[in-house]
Structure 1
């Protein structure tokens, strides 16, 4: 069940990348590189999660002191959280702004292209959040499927999706990148300056709430059946 989810998300990203790359030689037009860059950035949080598992598991096996392990986990977790909005950011590609006059690319191709990009971003975001909740359960020693349906898990998922939605807003409307955190003063000034402009606070709040609701519904559609299935399998085995 979980394997199917992961494979499906990976293949959706592969499809999106293939459509972006194939567009240039098939229709003899330019390669739209920003889309490929955004796809790479979208996958970055999953890479960080994989790195966390590769780094932390051996440390736990050899008996590394817990404070050291949690310190490394916290640092990797912060990097993951800063990169996570890049996955959801792909929903902002859901337009045809990349089309240029004189191109022979059929509209149906570009519609499927941007739709694949957007859905790949949503699916990757959902998978990231679910895997973090799953890893959090394993880290606390609770490996029961029923824990995935507990209120605290729902609270973590909600907070993460709200942060993702706000991060997408900052990326699209304030033109911030994850690595801008290297200059915190400039970042804060830019965000505060933007939010003080006329109507910006309402737009930011509206986008964040509606965006989080959308991602939450997609999370329910994709992860809900997985959690229900895991709980049922656990019940039958118990």
Structure 2
């Protein structure tokens, strides 16, 4: 029940962020900043992806169990193939969640903007918090899924080390994805053209100071997300499996 309440809270936070974006236009007569609405929707995709992956696993497990006698050794392979593909698809969209941290630059404000600063502070802060909440919720679901499948969570010894390595890698890769999105204007679906993406990244990193810039953004974003995520997941793990 507690997990459902938490999920509802995350959904409401996203809805509130979207409502504030629309109210900014309706109340103060400012132009509707559509990119923010798109970013809210993209930010919630990892949560949906994580839930769909778990739902698919719950459906797949009994089906494979029923076919175990016929497939023999093929069951584990099919299960892990599904998990790998589902996780990679989820990972492609994970950076969209923490990308919303970068919206705190107030780039949507004009010099003669009549929108009060206090409104934009609340509006962009809500947007950022919704992205962080989406990232935490989706990663929590995926990390817990792997723990249940690989280890015995009822042992009471805390989350297994491998799951923390997984979460850490995802957070770092997500932060790198934020850099690609903000500075190279890369989207998740651009992985369809890996050669072009690689050339664009290499040419970008050859510019003076870019490597240091990448390291600074990735490190700062990863630390921020980790400092929020680790205690949240620890509390969830203790409440669910201890």
Q: TM-score, normalised by structure 1?
A: 0.89
Instruction: Tell me the residue number matched to 1:95.
Output: 105
Instruction: Tell me the residue number matched to 2:70.
Output: none
Instruction: Tell me the residue number matched to 1:121.
Output: 131
C-alpha change, 1:145 and 1:219, in structure 2 (3 Å) is farther
C-alpha change, 1:66 and 1:44, in structure 2 (3 Å) is same
The answer to whether the Cα contact below 8 Å between 2:143 and 2:166 also exists between their aligned partners in 1 is yes
Matched, 1:162 2:172: yes
Instruction: Tell me the residue number matched to 2:41.
Output: 40
Matched, 1:13 2:26: no
Counterpart Cα distance in 2 of 1:155 and 1:148: 14
Instruction: Tell me the residue number matched to 1:152.
Output: 162
Measured after TM superposition, the shift of residue 114 of structure 1 is 0.5
Instruction: Tell me the residue number matched to 1:62.
Output: 63
- The size of the alignment, in residue pairs, is 232
Moved over 6 A (4+): none
Cα RMSD of the aligned pairs, angstroms, is 1.9
Map Cα deviations across residues 101-146 of structure 1 (whole Å, 9 max, x no partner): 4443211111101001111111111111111111112222634273
Unaligned runs of 5+ in 2: 68-74
Instruction: Tell me the residue number matched to 1:209.
Output: 219
Map Cα deviations across residues 151-170 of structure 1 (whole Å, 9 max, x no partner): 22221111111111111111
Deviates more, 1:15-24 or 1:179-188: 15-24
Unaligned runs of 5+ in 1: none
